[in-house]
Amino acid sequence: MTVVVSDPHLRRLREQFEAALPAATTVRWPDPADTDAVSAALSDADVLVSGVCPAGTAAAGKRLRLVHAAGAGIDGIDVGALAPGTLVANTFHHEDAIAEYTVASAIVLRRGFLREDAALRQGTWEAPTYPRLLGEATVGFIGFGHIGARAWQLFRSFGAQGVAVTRRGGVDAVAERLAWSGGMDDLDALLETSDVVVVSVPLTDETTSLIGPKELARMGRTAVLINVGRGRVVDEDALYAALHDGVIGGAALDVWYDYPTEGRTGAPSRHPFHELPNTLMTPHSSGLAQQTFVRRMEDITANIRRLAAGQGLSNVVAVAR
């Protein structure tokens, strides 16, 4: 069996990754930024480990049986371009890291630490705004899957109150110790009552621009938005305007509207979010931790062993037709 790994985050775990595979496995590690090198490595490969597989890459992997993302998202994989029968699988384990990020960013934004830090670097001792502590806040979750549920466990430890809306509804508010839960018909009520809004829904036709000008206007002027789902769930123009004009108190943005096509250079939006004093910007890094990728590596190598043994795979999310 031949496995090609072009996910950059797994390179640091190369030794452990290869040791977890069957003895006869050949593993290739082309430069993820070199699409020609990736395509060449795929000529006789059975498995591609990557969250990126556009049509050209898929065409080069004529023998692929499995494309395994080293994360939850498969939006970078052109499933329709893969050979019929090719399996597409994913993995998670980012919920602990993202949960830490949501709590940390909520505190930083609500306590005004961004503003105070910027002022003190210029020699000014900024007066505090005396915000309410996190234990007095209501946290609203738009999406309550493994990320939302884990983040709520941490917020709850501070004494916060929680509410949630999901696409399908059905979250057991009593079991989850939420004040209430509902469907997207209850989104306005969540926005109007939440001091912190955590967005973790996936990007679909239904959720694209789910949060627009009217929704942002329903949030309080001191409320903060934390987006760890996908950038385009929140309307780009409306969000910039709301932050610029003080319609909402602030935002932590870990997911964006534009990503570099090559390398690590590129503006994340056509708007100058970097000029806003009430915005915490991070490069889609909220889920990145050593623990995250060790656990993902274990899932991926276990699936490759199952494939080699002719067994059923875990976390199969698509099959090429």
Tell me the pLDDT band of 130, cut-offs 50, 70 and 90. Answer: confident
- What average pLDDT does the structure give for the chain? 96
The yes-or-no verdict on residue 262 having pLDDT over 80 is no
Q: Residue 66: enclosing H or E segment and its boundaries?
A: strand 66-68
The yes-or-no verdict on residue 261 having pLDDT over 90 is no
Tell me the pLDDT band of 108, cut-offs 50, 70 and 90. Answer: very high
| Model pLDDT, residue 241 | 98
Share of the chain above pLDDT 70, in %: 100
The letter for the amino acid at 319 is: V
Tell me the pLDDT band of 37, cut-offs 50, 70 and 90. Answer: very high
Domains of the chain, first to last = 2-92+289-319 (3.40.50.720), 95-281 (3.40.50.720)
| Model pLDDT, residue 264 | 85
Instruction: Write out the E strands in 112-157.
Output: 138-142
What is the model's pTM? 0.89
Max Cα–Cα distance, the chain, nearest Å: 66
Looking at residue 226, the DSSP 8-state letter turns out to be: E
The tokens for 260 are 């570099």
The yes-or-no verdict on residue 129 having pLDDT over 90 is no
Higher pLDDT, 264 or 244: 244
pLDDT digits (tens, 9 = 90+) for 292-304: 999 999 999 999 9
